[in-house]
Amino acid sequence: MPERAGQQHGPRDLRLVGLRKAFGSAVAVDDLSLTIPAGSFFALLGPSGCGKTTTLRMVAGLEIPTAGQVLLGDEDITRRRPYERPVNTVFQSYALFPHLSVEENVAFGLRRRGRKDVKGVVAEMLALVELAGFGRRRPGQLSGGQQQRVAVARALINEPEVLLLDEPLGALDLKLRRQMQLELKRIQTSVGSTFVHVTHDQEEAMTMADTIAVMNAGLVEQLGSPRELYERPASRYVANFLGQSNCLDGSVVATQGDETLVEVHGVRLLVPGRLGPPGSPASLGVRPEKARALPWDAALPADSAVRDPALRNAIPGTVTDVSFTGLSTQYVVRTAWGEDLGVFSQNAGGEAPVLRGDTVVVAWRPEHTFPLAPASVVAEEAAEQPLPRPAVPPTMAPLGS
């Protein structure tokens, strides 16, 4: 791979500062601030219409922000022309030039910058995306997956400091998609450019990205590594957008060291962290796969629950649904106050079988509990947002979705 053309500086972070874009009265991106470290694989994750494409277009220079700045290192590129930025884009709909061969599509950026000896580099790039031998074809003669790889090659060959990928794998079938995910990740590691990958597929974001920003209605809800976001989602929105969660509302009873005791409809649960003074509202969540559904009598022999940390957080309820998926069994347990809790149990054997109608206890370890922003605050925020939110019910996404 040749040296990056005309680059006199070291790796530079991409910084978005207070970025905002309004189309008339509709706000597509609202006061977005992000620092994307140089050389990282960064995912912008969010439902359709939350402003992901608009954000990328502002970085590419195809959209002028209403307010805010786009910086590369310390250089302000907010108003630079798209063709003057060290940024290239893989468009959501590819936007391949239909009148040019695959080779000429890929060579386009190099030629515009006056490179003459492009043949070798182009062949190398086509080989990298496994399209060697397709150079003479027109884009119209390729399948969707092949076109997508041409789009990647066409952007990547310029060795941009920042490569923007707008749902580039959306049109691919599952198998090719998995293959391309690994491929892109490999390419990113070997090229070392900063990749900003936009997707609405949480699994894709989790498998590929070093850092994920979960976007919702023009705002970043939470930023972190895939593991952080999954293990410690900060809001119901994130908790349910990345996988599924059981979310519960209650109020603080007492703070015990680094843990807080929260009462939810009379059940006392331990939550890591300090959630505020006694009496203040508190919300918490737990992943279905971290919870177990145990028969009532097995779970509560006198005071063993207090001693066994695996059973420390326990909510009684009735099993209303059991579905066997092979890998796991999914239970829906209705609590005394009518909320449904999900439990995924791996079919590892050993656990006593639980049937529909059984009275059980949903139990989990306190450290698997995550505190959430209180429901009232989230609800107010949601009411202020004019843009659509995903159809996720407040407590739990439907099981097996």
Ligand X SMILES: Nc1ncnc2c1ncn2[C@@H]1O[C@H](COP(=O)(O)OP(=O)(O)O)[C@@H](O)[C@H]1O
Q: Rule CB under 6 A: say whether 28 interacts with ligand X.
A: yes
Sheet holding 67-72, edge to edge: 26-36, 14-23, 67-72, 75-76
Nearer to ligand X, 59 or 311 (CB): 59
Site for another protein in 45-74 (CB under 8 A): 60-62
Query: Over the range 336-368, which residues count as b (16 or more CB within 10 Å of their CB) and which as e?
Result: eeebbbbbbbeeeeeeeebeeebebbbbbbbeb
Q: From the CB of 391, what's the least distance to ligand X, in Å?
A: 15
Give the total of residues touching ligand X (CB under 6 A). Answer: 12
- Nearest residue (CB) to ligand X, 49 versus 224: 49
Q: Which does 28 bind (CB under 5 to 8 A by kind): Mg ion, ligand X, another protein, none?
A: ligand X
Can you spell out the DSSP letters for 203-229?
A: HHHHHH-SEEEEEETTEEEEEE-HHHH
Cβ nearer to ligand X, comparing 191 with 382: 382
- Residue 220 Cα distances to 54, 224, 259, angstroms: 14, 11, 27
What does 51 interact with, of another protein, Mg ion, ligand X, none (CB < 5 to 8 A by kind)? ligand X
Build a one-symbol-per-residue string for 38-67: x at contacts with ligand X by CB under 6 A, - elsewhere.
--------x-xxxxxxx-------------
- Binding partner selected for residue 241 from ligand X, another protein, Mg ion, none, CB under the kind-specific 5 to 8 Å limit: none
CA distances from 61 to 48, 85, 306 (A): 21, 8, 59
- Nearer CB in complex with Mg ion: 48/376: 48
Name the segment binding Mg ion (CB under 5 A); options: 30-38, 52-60, 188-196, 230-238: 52-60
Find how far residue 397's CA is from the centre of its chain: 16
Among 19, 21, 47, 53, binds Mg ion (CB under 5 A): 53
By a kind-dependent CB cut-off of 5 to 8 A, residue 225 interacts, out of ligand X, another protein, Mg ion, none, with none
Angle, CA of 211, 213 and 214, to the nearest 5°: 135
Give the C-alpha separation, 160 to 196, whole Å: 12
> With CB cut-offs between 5 and 8 Å by kind, which of another protein, Mg ion, ligand X, none does residue 23 bind?
ligand X
Interface with another protein, residue 294, by CB under 8 A: no
Sign of CA dihedral 34, 39, 44, 45: negative
d(CA 133, CA 131): 6
* Binding-site ranges for ligand X (CB under 6 A): 23, 26, 28, 46, 48-54, 387
